[in-house]
Amino acid sequence: MKYLLLITFMFGSAHCLLDDIIPKVINNTDTNGDGFISLTELSAQMLSFDADANGIVTKHEFTEGWIAAYDDNHPDTNTFFNNLDINDDHYLTDADMQEHKRLNNIIVDENDLITYADFETFIRNMHPGHGNHEP
Ligand SMILES: [Ca+2]
Ligand SMILES: [Ca+2]
């Protein structure tokens, strides 16, 4: 029983739903508030997790920062990082974002802008989205 409660605590109600996380991510990423996410804003948001400021985001930095910012769960955040790290070099850099753009995983218009809806789709495609299924 105690074990079950611990599991519930770790993977259940202690964490936010992806539905709750996405608006916060959008709000934090669209720093000039123009209603679009630019590639520059996206890179800046990503690099905000670069704790030692060496220009690359390690999985450790990302998971620590992301979970602290959005109260997400650890397994989902791990998978999210792996999906974002599309060139599989175990770091999150601008090269990954350029590759997502190239593959049309994220829809970027001719002005390098992403709509909120397309940004949300991108996050949902990258994130396993289990979150908290508790009512
Ligand atoms: Ca913006
Ligand atoms: Ca990478």
pLDDT digits (tens, 9 = 90+) for 101-124: 999 999 999 999 999 999 999 999
Q: Is residue 46 part of a domain?
A: yes
Report the separation in Å between the CA atom of 95 and the middle of ligand 2, taken as the mean of its atom positions.
7
Ligand nearest to the CA of 113: 1
Domain of 21, CATH number, reads: 1.10.238.10
Ligand nearest to the CA of 91: 2
Q: Is residue 12 part of a domain?
A: no
Report pLDDT for 16: 77
Percent of the chain with pLDDT over 90: 80
Report the separation in Å between the CA atom of 57 and the middle of ligand 2, taken as the mean of its atom positions.
9
Q: Which domain holds residue 43?
A: 17-126
pTM given for the model = 0.84
More confident residue, 78 or 132: 78
Q: Is residue 3 part of a domain?
A: no
How far is it, in rounded angstroms, from Cα 48 to Cα 80?
16
Q: What is the mean pLDDT of residues 86-99?
A: 95
Q: What is the mean pLDDT of residues 67-89?
A: 96
User: Alpha helices, DSSP H only, in the chain?
Assistant: 2-11, 18-29, 39-47, 59-70, 74-84, 94-102, 116-126
Provide the mean pLDDT of the chain: 89
Q: Is residue 134 part of a domain?
A: no
